[in-house]
Chains A and B, each alone.
Chain A
Amino acid sequence: MSSKYQPLVDNLRKTYERKTTIPLAWRKTQLEVLMKMMKEREDEFHTALQIDLGKGFFESWLTETSLINGNIQYFYDNLEKWMKPQEVPCTPMLLPAKSYVIREPLGVILVIAPWNYPFQLAIVPLAAALAAGNTVVIKPSEIATATSKALAKIIPEYFDKSVVNIVEGGVAETTELLKCKFDHIFFTGSPRVGQIIYEAAAKHLTPVTLELGGKSPVVVDETADLDVTAKRLAWTKFMNCGQTCVAPDYVLCPASVQDKLASKLEKAIEGLYGKNPRDSPDFARVINEGMGNRLFRMVKDDTEKGKAETVTGGKWESQTRYFAPTVLKNVTTDSAVMQEEIFGPVLPILPILDNIEDAVNFISERPKPLSAIIFSKDKKNQEILRSKTSSGSFLINDAVVHVSNHHLPFGGVGNSGIGRFHGPYSFDIFCNLKSVHDNPTFLDPSLRYPPYTKTEQTIIKYASKLKAPHIPQSLVPLVIGVVVGAVIVGSVTHPGGLAGFASQLVSKFI
């Protein structure tokens, strides 16, 4: 099963095997080079995003460049700390050994990036993988053609092929790449392709991080502040023209709330993009004609069959790839828009919520989503939805924005994905967490070794019953001092002397 990319991957593995990627200085240099690249070539990347997704500068900056820069800086600032050995308490029976975990590189990482945040979801994993001391292959999405070309042109100007390589292409090239053995595959995309990647990785026992998708539900109850709800819902839904993995996919609300919410959403959209969103520099475009046609067909089918009613939007212009921000109401569960992840600027409202348990059941009957959202002021409802459903993330009174918090792990569960990313999680997925046990040689009790005498068997029998606590390594000398001191004091003050004190201890602890 030889691949045409084998020499490329072998070259990257040689760099790793030479151990040049291990020192902190090397890794910091890579991150500095990345920062330099971002500073010098930002405009070219923004232009590519404009071509691919019709994204204006501000949104590109907010959702791509600023996140990339923030992540690189975060890795840079924390790298030295993360690389330090992490001490853990040692089992009392194994003291005075030292136990710690060190994070070491895995080898060659494959990053397969999607088309919706084609820049961010290539560069942030690249930065994390380099910070963890690995070499990297990036396969950008062939659907975001301008970004793919920009990455293929710009990255080799900053990184040698023996450290980072770009492989452009589609299914054929990805299949060819997957014949090679990688030490970790980071994939962002759909669950269907995620399965294919996972199966290919299985052939080489390669661990994977799969950032997938699904239908992220939004629950709006009677207590929600509808003005704030409408604004936040509209912005998080329609940014990047709805093409965000954690975007609100559909809304569940009580019948009594639907019309008010729908009308506020309409107003909010106008507030964000003006009367004609086509003319707003802040409203993006659908990635290509095929995706737009899919969305248009779904909405048309549903509205014609009485499974949805248009509140606003619905217009699709294939030449400019403009799809109007669309809100649908009275949507039925068997509608086309409810059968797959929408991934576009269409927001269905289902007015079927009688109580919060309805939402719990509706969501739990479906695959676990990447994100679940509730707009509500009722703490009880918030807690019920949180505790009785499962999703990658859970947001109260907002959506999407948690992706910019480094301290919150980002990822899915079940069908929405495997593995966690962002902040220290990004570092860990590209490391081998090596457990180290360091046992001094001055203490070596014979009862550990054969022949196992009857006396030793008795000692072990009682020792195993001891309720000894876990003690951190740094406190061991202090603890030993305290214990010895306690034994001396106990023996001196006990009427039976050492023997009396010892038997009292035995009866207490065994």
Chain B
Amino acid sequence: MNNLSNELRATYQSGVTQPIEWRITQLNALHQLVEENKQALFDAVKEDLGRCAYETNIGELMNIKTQIKCILSNLRHWMAPRSVSTPLLHGKGLSTSHIIPQPLGVVLIITPWNYPISLPLDGIAYVIASGNCAVVKPSEISERCSALLNELIPKYLDNNCVKVVLGGVPETTELLKQRWDHILYTGNGVVGKVILRAAAEFLTPTTLELGGKSPVVVDRNVSMGVALKRIAWGKFLNCGQTCIAPDYVLVHKDVKDEFINGLKDTITSFYKDPKTSEDYGRIVSERHAKRLATLLDADRDKIIYGGDVDLKDKYISPTLLYFEGDAINNSQLMHEEIFGPILPIISVDSLEDSVTFINQRPKPLALYLFSKDDAMTQLFISRTSSGGLCVNDTLCHFSVPDLPFGGVGDSGFGGYHGQTGFDRFSHLRAILNKTTIIDPSLRYPPYDYGNVKILGYLAP
């Protein structure tokens, strides 16, 4: 593994990843990998995360296929030279100016355990679409899925250009000692800083997809039925272990009771008995479940629904807590990203208060507003900041391929998906092809100061 990046760089320099035909072949192969191994992928996710096949299908496999489709239908266009105008001074009409996207070289992709199939493959799709070689280091925590990818990727993709490295901290540390042309990291902020420091050594650009606490705001003017379903769905999908999962709810006091009662009913309608429901997942490991159980124990008196824990089964039931007034500030639940099926609900007096609450805290990866009031919605969008935002829904902006997906501030930087994703792993090279037919002398010394006005008209 010592010289993996050099090995792949040599392959990249041979030019094999440049032609569009190679990229299309790889993307089609990636699509096939997903299509032909669905059951194996479902089983691996079930084993690692206890997540049902239906959710793996809509939450992971369909997303990868959507991204690949988007790339395939746009790749030729994205790869083409982008013509821009040339100023008069530099021979507009005779000279030409273009932006040509070129691959960077070798990209390192480090992915987490919560979407252990789509995050590695999503990253690979965009990295190879931009003509790079890739090394993917999937999470050691989602063991079965990573082992399966390690088996399938060499079977479908070009072995010389895409490699999988299995392992944990020691292996990642070794990888980070090497020079990469870009690093795509999805995970938490603590490790994000480590990645960034390692990248700084080689001036390697990075994309950090981190996390944070993604708030949901429920206005008093709201389509309650739809809001309840979409919030419950977004929260409890993958047992709350989604980077953009609704973390906590700020509900207007006028609809608080309707919301809470409605949410209890909605959860019951989804899972009846979550412990035995096929549709309800598990926490990834006993250690993670213990962390969540500890959070619950500290605020047992605030639990209004659920709260059942079975550590051996890595089971935490869908749980709601209610906080009145300032009580929320003392809760540990507000000091870390929950990343589990625990939903604190906080009552607010107005939408204004929710904006203040949100702005006092680090910028989240996602923000969700449920409201029927267009004017309030626009105000809310302009007065808060987040990586992404959904109005009257949760999570879905991730599956719109033309929306760049990423964070801001503590939730990360650099987005990818769609053309943003293609450009992210490319170098946008500026090309000026200058005519030699004309060469106005007023450009050169000795400078005639009277020419300043003329140049002012010709220059941009």
Contact = CB atoms under 8 A, between A and B. Distances in A.
Interface of A: 17, 19, 22, 56-59, 61-62, 66, 70, 74, 88-91, 93-94, 97, 99, 101-102, 104-107, 183, 191, 194-195, 198-199, 201-203, 205, 207, 210, 212, 225, 228, 231-232, 235, 271-274, 280-283, 364, 377, 382, 386-388, 390-398, 401-402, 404-410, 413-415, 417-420, 432-441, 444, 448-452, 456-457, 460-461, 464, 467, 469-470
Contacts of B205: 418-419
B204 to A, nearest CB: 8
B446 A280 contact: yes
Contact of A395 (B405, B434, B455): B434
Contact of B388 (A205, A402, A436): A436
A88 B402 contact: yes
A27 to B, nearest CB: 13
B122 interface: no
A99 B459 CA distance: 38
B433 A396 contact: yes
A460 B279 contact: no
B381 interface: yes
B388 A199 contact: no
B435 interface: yes
Given A392-B430, A402-B432, A464 B404 contact: no
A192 to B, nearest CB: 10
Given A198-B200, A401-B90, A438-B391, A406 B430 contact: no
B65 interface: yes
B434 A397 contact: yes
A304 to B, nearest CB: 32
Instruction: Tell me if B's interface is mostly helix, strand, loop or mixed.
Output: mixed
B308 interface: no
A99 B279 contact: no
Contacts of A90: 400, 402
B383 A19 contact: yes
B34 to A, nearest CB: 10
A99 B402 contact: yes
Instruction: Tell me if A's interface is mostly helix, strand, loop or mixed.
Output: mixed
A407 B449 CA distance: 28
A418 B402 CA distance: 24
9 contacts: A58-B452, A90-B402, A93-B62, A93-B399, A390-B429, A394-B429, A396-B434, A433-B420, A436-B403
Given A212-B203, A460-B54, A202 B197 contact: yes
Q: Which 9 A-B pairs have the closest CB atoms?
A: A407-B84, A202-B196, A88-B402, A58-B447, A198-B200, A437-B397, A398-B434, A282-B445, A441-B223
A202 B58 contact: no
B396 interface: yes
Contact of B271 (A205, A228, A281, A450): A450
A205 B396 contact: no
A139 B104 CA distance: 31
B15 to A, nearest CB: 8
Interface in B212-232: 223, 225-227, 229-230, 232
Nearest to A202: B196
B413 A205 contact: yes
Contacts of A102: 381
B65 A414 contact: no
A66 B390 contact: no
Given A104-B385, A202-B197, A231-B444, A433 B208 contact: no
B90 A405 contact: yes
B400 A408 contact: no
Interface string B1-31: 0000000000001010010000000000000
Contacts of B159: none
A437 B388 CA distance: 8
A401 B57 contact: no
A226 B201 CA distance: 41
B177 interface: no
Interface string B399-427: 11111111011101111001010000001
Interface string B121-152: 00000000000000000000000000000000
B66 interface: yes
A438 B372 CA distance: 11
A364 to B, nearest CB: 7
B428 interface: yes
Contacts of A207: 413-414
Contacts of A441: 223, 226-227, 372, 392
Of the listed residues B61, B227, B404, B460, the one surrounded by the most CB atoms of chain A closer than 10 A to its CB is B460
Given A91-B400, A451-B270, A464 B62 contact: yes
A395 B432 contact: yes
A12 to B, nearest CB: 15
B376 interface: no
B329 interface: no
B272 interface: yes
B430 A402 contact: yes
A280 B445 CA distance: 9
Contacts of A415: 203
Of the listed residues A105, A106, A199, A434, the one surrounded by the most CB atoms of chain B closer than 10 A to its CB is A434
Given A282-B446, A387-B18, A396-B432, 9 more contacts: A56-B447, A58-B449, A59-B447, A198-B200, A202-B200, A386-B431, A439-B230, A450-B277, A457-B53
A62 B391 CA distance: 48
Nearest to B34: A464
A91 B393 contact: no
A414 B203 CA distance: 7
A6 B253 CA distance: 38
A408 B193 contact: no
A464 B181 contact: no
